[in-house]
């Protein structure tokens, strides 16, 4: 299978010479919602056989543009042409729809809740006139690649958010469209499933010549695009191949430790706009590509604080994306600090205690003997693939679901008998957004404040803080149902915090939120934990976010299979699997197959690069290069890199899945 990736220059050459036919042409595109101009004068061309990416912060106009190209949204200016047809009427839109597959933003919006996974797929296949013979083969392959096969009889309404997203993707691709329009298709999907999603697309592009227009909130995915456009404020900020866009903002990313960390951050922010803490590490983007100069700039900004374990790298696409927004003043800076509580919560107390939690749905055991503790002031992360049982654990601890067996305490109350007390002491942000879509932003905040019994003075104070903290200024009178998904999530976070809870449950709170928004979320969460003593239990599929957690538990098939601090979990995997190396080679998808055949069973795709574990670096590096070069592939580089939590996640899940496929095989966890 041939992987499509930006690093493969030969593929770009082939694309230019063989697939120059324009599938989509957009010129001077304008879309207004009453007086608000959502998209203003956008031009782009999508060519046959390429992946074209749209990237931008929430509300930048990506979804409006994609809906217009799909023929489901009218527009106010310019022209949209798809497959040579000018899409300017309902009749024109109907002509192009048989060749399209459109996945809208949002979890399961194109699905039927009462139908099972298989029934949804069959319905869309029949709607798209897929022959029965083809349906059997396609359904089996897509269910296997998305790891939904064993859930095929489960109703869509009982699926996790990520599982809904994967099912929506299958239903969009089941008729193998010539053009797939995918609006943030991997939002809420775990790292292993995201990798498999890109393999599915690469396969369809290679075998069927499919063209893809896709938006994403994951910047590592953007490296897979042939070409992309950065949108902000309804305009194109930059466009081109990923390497061309990266070159627009030269700089270096410096990673190091410095103590005391809060003092180091305060000093660094006087000189640099991108300063991010990830656990004990600090990441700072400097404006110089000279790595020696970048290090000197960091040392000068820190003064008498001495940085340790310093590493200087080229900036990733996410760093460039944030730098572009900040440089063009396209992102509104937000700041806010929670009003000081009358009495900060005791950092020494146990906020959450789960003991042997079990939850069964009929004959299916969703949670199987889960136990852990979270202290006040601690950030605890629950990681796991879609369907691992994370959300079910949270619902039991919140008193929403009764456990089949086991016990738990939350904020000092028994989860079995004191659900009402628990709900007064916690904040909860679910995947499904517990907001009222027909109310405005202000009405939602004030409603939740009233539900929690805040008096008028406290309500006004918390309302003002939430608007500032969540970046909702200007949206106060907007209907919640009309907000971009990321803005709606920020509102949901604010409503969860309205009553200053002792314990905060966040179920994928930043899913689909742009990088600046995610970074700001974590600044607020860190202050809530460190300064207010709030205990935070969070699930996330952004593995870089998990670095913020004090402790983590990785769930698989309802069980906890690994736990510890981020550093502990990395050391455990390194001890088992060896050191991590990154391989850059042409045709990464094909390279992955050859590496696995050569014995690198843990090899995995990360963007357009490959990661392999080496127990004997000298021997294993030589073996990897030989396997690829003997297969006719060119190896650009093989370099050691620090283990990330995404590497840990992928290694653990793939090892456990391999053990299930090989009966009797034991996997150390």
Kindly list the structural domains of the chain, giving each domain's residue range(s) and its CATH number in brackets, ordered by start.
9-245 (3.40.50.300), 250-314 (3.30.70.100), 350-563 (3.40.50.300), 566-661 (3.30.70)
pLDDT above 70 for 324: yes
Per the CB < 8 A criterion, the answer to whether 110 and 163 are in contact is: no
Q: Is the dihedral of CA 315, 317, 321, 324 positive or negative?
A: positive
Long-range contacts of 626-629 (CB under 8 A, 24+ apart): 627/594, 627/595, 627/597, 627/598, 628/583, 628/585, 628/591, 628/594, 628/595
Closest CA to 142 of 119, 172, 185: 172
Give the model's confidence band at 176: pLDDT under 50 very low, under 70 low, under 90 confident, else very high. very high
Mean pLDDT of 486-493: 82
SS3 200: helix
CA atoms within 13 A on the CB side of 472: 31
Spell out a b/e string for 578-602, using b for 16 or more CB atoms within 10 Å of the CB, else e: bbbbbbbbbbbbbbbebbeebebeb
Closest CA to 560 of 406, 368, 374: 368
In 70-108, alpha helices (H)? 90-96
pLDDT of residue 512: 66
Q: For 401-444, what is each residue's pLDDT tens digit?
A: 999 999 999 998 888 888 788 888 898 887 666 789 999 999 99
Q: Please state whether 439 falls in left (phi above 0), alpha (psi between -120 and 50) or beta.
A: beta
Give the model's confidence band at 269: pLDDT under 50 very low, under 70 low, under 90 confident, else very high. very high
Percent of the chain with pLDDT over 90: 53
Q: How many Å apart are CA 58 and CA 602, to the nearest integer? A: 35
In 358-431, alpha helices (H)? 390-397, 419-425
Per the CB < 8 A criterion, the answer to whether 28 and 183 are in contact is: no
The CA dihedral of 421, 427, 432, 435, to the nearest 10 degrees, is 90
Q: What are phi and psi of 600, to 5 degrees?
A: -90, 75
Q: How many Å apart are CA 38 and CA 517, to the nearest integer? A: 19
Q: Which residue has the higher pLDDT, 195 or 155?
A: 155
- Crossing angle of the two packed helices 117-127 and 132-145, in degrees rounded to 10: 140
Give the model's confidence band at 650: pLDDT under 50 very low, under 70 low, under 90 confident, else very high. confident
SS3 content of the chain, % helix, strand, coil (to 5): 40, 25, 35
Query: How many CB atoms are located within 10 Å of the residue 296 CB?
Result: 13
Least trusted range by pLDDT, from 209-223, 280-294, 363-377 = 209-223
Q: Which residue has the higher pLDDT, 1 or 269?
A: 269
Tokens of 473: 């200024």
Per the CB < 8 A criterion, the answer to whether 110 and 171 are in contact is: yes
**First vs last C-alpha separation in the chain:** 32
Q: Where are the beta strands (DSSP E) in 314-442?
A: 350-361, 364-375, 379-384, 405-410, 413-414, 426-429
pLDDT above 90 for 630: yes
In 328-473, alpha helices (H)? 390-397, 419-425, 441-451, 456-469
In Å, how far are 140, 178, 274, 556 from 389, measured between CA atoms? 24, 36, 35, 8
In Å, how far are 44, 254, 298, 579, 645 from 312, measured between CA atoms? 35, 5, 11, 19, 19
Q: Which residue has the tokens 């000093």?
A: 267
Examine residue 260 and say whether the peptide bond preceding it is cis (omega within 30 degrees of 0): yes
């Amino acid at each position: 299978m041939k992987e499509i990736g930006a690093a493969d220059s030969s593929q770009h050459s082939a694309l230019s010479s063989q697939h120059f036919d324009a599938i989509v042409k957009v010129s001077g595109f304008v879309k207004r919602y009453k007086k608000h101009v959502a998209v203003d004068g956008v031009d782009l061309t999508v060519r046959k056989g390429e992946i074209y990416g749209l990237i931008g912060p929430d509300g930048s106009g990506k979804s409006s543009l994609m809906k217009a190209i799909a023929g489901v949204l009218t527009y106010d200016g310019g022209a949209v042409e798809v497959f040579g047809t000018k899409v300017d009427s309902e009749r024109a839109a109907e002509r192009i729809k048989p060749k399209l597959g459109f996945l809208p933003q949002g979890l399961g919006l194109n699905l039927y809740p009462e139908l099972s996974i298989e029934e949804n797929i069959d319905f869309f296949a029949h709607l798209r006139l897929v022959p029965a013979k083809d349906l059997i083969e396609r359904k089996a392959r897509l269910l296997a690649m998305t790891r939904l096969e064993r859930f095929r009889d489960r109703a869509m309404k009982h699926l996790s958010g990520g599982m809904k997203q994967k099912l929506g993707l299958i239903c969009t691709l089941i008729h193998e469209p010539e053009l797939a329009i995918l609006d943030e298709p991997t939002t809420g999907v775990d790292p292993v499933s995201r990798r498999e999603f890109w393999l599915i697309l690469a396969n369809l592009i290679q075998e069927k010549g499919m063209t893809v227009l896709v938006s994403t909130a994951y910047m590592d995915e953007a490296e897979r695009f042939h070409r992309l456009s950065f949108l902000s404020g309804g305009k194109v900020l930059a466009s081109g191949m990923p390497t061309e866009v990266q070159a627009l903002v030269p700089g270096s990313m410096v990673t190091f430790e410095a103590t005391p960390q809060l003092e180091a951050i305060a000093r660094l922010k006087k000189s640099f706009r991108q300063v991010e803490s990830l656990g004990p590490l600090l990441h700072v983007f400097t404006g110089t590509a000279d790595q020696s100069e970048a290090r000197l700039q960091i040392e000068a900004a820190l003064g008498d604080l001495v940085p340790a374990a310093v590493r200087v790298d080229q900036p990733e696409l996410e760093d460039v994306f944030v730098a572009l927004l900040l440089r063009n003043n396209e992102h509104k800076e937000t700041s806010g600090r929670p009003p000081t509580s009358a009495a900060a919560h005791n950092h020494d107390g146990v906020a959450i205690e789960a003991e042997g939690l079990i939850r069964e749905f009929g004959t299916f055991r969703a949670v199987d003997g889960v136990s852990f503790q979270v202290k006040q002031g601690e950030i605890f992360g629950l990681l796991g693939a879609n369907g691992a049982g994370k959300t079910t654990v949270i619902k039991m601890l919140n008193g929403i679901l009764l456990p089949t067996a086991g016990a738990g305490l939350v904020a000092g109350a028994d989860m079995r008998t004191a659900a009402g007390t628990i709900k007064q002491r916690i904040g909860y942000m679910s995947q499904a957004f517990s907001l009222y879509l027909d109310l405005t932003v202000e009405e939602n905040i004030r409603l939740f404040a009233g539900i929690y019994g805040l008096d008028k003075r406290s309500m006004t104070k918390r309302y003002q803080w939430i608007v500032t903290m969540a970046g909702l200024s200007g949206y106060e009178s907007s209907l919640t149902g009309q907000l971009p998904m990321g803005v709606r999530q920020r509102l949901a976070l604010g409503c969860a915090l309205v009553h200053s809870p002792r314990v905060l449950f966040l179920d994928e709170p930043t899913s689909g939120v742009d990088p600046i928004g995610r970074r700001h979320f974590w600044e607020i969460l860190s202050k809530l934990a460190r300064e207010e003593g709030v205990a935070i239990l969070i699930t996330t599929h952004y593995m870089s976010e998990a670095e913020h957690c004090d402790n983590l538990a990785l769930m698989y098939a309802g069980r906890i299979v690994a736990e510890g601090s981020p550093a502990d979990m990395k050391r455990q995997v390194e001890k088992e699997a060896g050191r991590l190396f990154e391989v850059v080679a042409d045709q990464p998808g094909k390279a992955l197959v050859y590496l696995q055949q050569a014995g690198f069973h843990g090899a995995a795709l990360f963007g357009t690069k490959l990661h392999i574990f080496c127990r004997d670096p000298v021997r294993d590096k030589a073996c990897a290069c030989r396997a690829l070069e003997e297969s006719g592939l060119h190896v650009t580089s093989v370099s050691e890199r620090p283990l990330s939590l995404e590497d840990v996640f992928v290694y653990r899940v793939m090892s456990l899945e391999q053990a299930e496929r090989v009966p009797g095989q034991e996997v150390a966890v």
